[in-house]
Amino acid sequence: MKIRKAVCRFIVIMTVLISVTGCQKNADSTGNRDGMTELLNVSYDPTREFYSEYNQLFCDYWEEKTGQKVDITQSHGGSGSQARSVMEGNEADVVTLALAHDITMIEEAGLIDDGWIREYDKDSSPYTSTIVFLVRCGNEKNIRDWDDLVREDVKVITPNPKTSGGACWNFLAAWAYWQERDGGDEEATKGFMKKLYQNVLVLDSGARGATNTFVENGQGDVLVAWENEAYLSMKEHPDTYEIVTPSVSILAQPSVAVVDMNVKEHNTQEAADEYLKYLYSDEAQRLAGKYYYRPSDEEILKEFSDQFDLGMNLVTIDDFGGWDEAFRMFFEDGKVFDQIYSD
Beta bridge partners of 127: 295
pTM summary value: 0.89
- Spatial distance between the Cα atoms of 39 and 1, rounded to a whole number of angstroms: 43
CB 233 within 8 A of CB 45: no
CB 168 within 8 A of CB 336: no
Cα–Cα distances in Å, from 201 out to 210, 211, 322? 10, 13, 30
Q: What is the pLDDT along the chain (343 residues), one digit of tens a residue?
A: 444 433 333 323 333 444 343 354 433 334 555 568 999 999 999 999 999 999 999 999 999 999 999 999 999 999 999 999 999 999 999 999 999 999 999 999 999 999 999 999 999 999 999 999 999 999 999 999 999 999 999 999 999 999 999 999 999 999 999 999 988 899 999 999 999 999 999 999 999 999 999 999 999 999 999 999 999 988 878 899 999 999 999 999 999 999 999 999 999 999 999 999 999 999 999 999 999 999 999 999 999 999 999 999 999 999 999 999 999 999 999 999 999 997 5
Q: Who's near 5: CB < 8 A, 6+ residues apart?
A: 234, 239, 242, 243
Helix and strand totals (H; E) in the chain: 14, 16
Question: Quick one: which of 36, 40, 12 has its CA closest to 26?
Answer: 40
CB 4 within 8 A of CB 309: yes
What is the full DSSP assignment across 296-308?
Answer: SSHHHHHTTTTTS
Q: Who's near 292: CB < 8 A, 6+ residues apart?
A: 129, 227, 228, 229, 230, 231, 232, 307
